[in-house]
């Protein structure tokens, strides 16, 4: 087999996609799905849902927000100009690999002060964000500055960010199955000003 530097570009992309899939499959086996299942009633019972994450984690949570909106839930992305104040009965879905990202922790503090609930998606249950959370889901992936390659060979927090996106889709699929609304009805809520 040729070394990675001798492979064709197509073979290198194929090899790296296999790496991404393999790492996500391995992470799947380490997730505590009782933690994940505990999110379902929190999402279903929330008056409104707010999502917050920085960088690529934030992008992954925006995708989750879109799917929850398709279910007919009232969902907002923290930082958007039309996002209202959070309050009692609301839920903040916060993603931070380290659980220490200052803007995410500050949003969680404000949520708790407003009598809302916080769900933390993180690589650790021992962090400032986790201490503020009603429920923590640990995704045991590498943090951004874990450059050793023992947990993930991918760059920075890529595995965590991918896991946030995939978990968001799995939560949506589960909630959708429970809801039973036909896809055609959900599609009516899809953006039509694009």
CA of residue 123 relative to chain centroid, distance: 11
Q: Is the dihedral of CA 39, 99, 101, 143 positive or negative?
A: negative
Measured in Å, how far apart are the chain's first and last C-alpha atoms?
46
Q: Which sequence positions are flagged as catalytic?
A: 161
Closest CA to 164 of 57, 92, 69: 57
Closest CA to 71 of 43, 37, 102, 99: 43
Secondary element (H or E) of residue 138 = strand 135-138
Q: Which stretches within 71-157 are classed as H helix? A: 102-113, 128-132
Neighbours of 167 (CB within 10 A): 21
Structure tokens at 107: 């949003």
């Amino acid at each position: 087999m040729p070394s990675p530097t001798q492979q064709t570009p197509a073979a290198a992309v194929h090899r790296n996609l296999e790496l991404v899939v393999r790492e996500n499959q391995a992470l799947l086996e380490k997730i505590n799905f009782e933690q994940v299942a505990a999110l379902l009633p929190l999402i279903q019972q929330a008056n409104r849902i707010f999502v917050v994450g920085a960088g690529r984690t934030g992008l992954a949570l925006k995708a989750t927000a879109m799917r929850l909106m398709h279910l007919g839930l009232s969902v907002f992305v923290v930082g958007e100009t039309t996002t209202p104040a959070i309050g009692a009965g609301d839920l903040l879905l916060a993603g931070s690999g380290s659980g220490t990202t200052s803007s995410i922790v500050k949003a969680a503090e404000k949520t708790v002060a407003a009598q809302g609930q916080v769900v933390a998606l993180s690589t650790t249950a021992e962090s400032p964000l986790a201490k503020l959370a009603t429920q923590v889901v640990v995704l045991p992936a590498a943090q951004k500055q874990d450059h050793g390659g023992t947990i993930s060979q991918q760059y920075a927090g890529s595995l965590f960010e991918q896991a946030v996106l995939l978990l968001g889709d799995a939560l949506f699929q589960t909630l959708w199955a429970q809801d039973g609304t036909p896809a055609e009805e959900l599609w009516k809520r899809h953006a039509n000003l694009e």
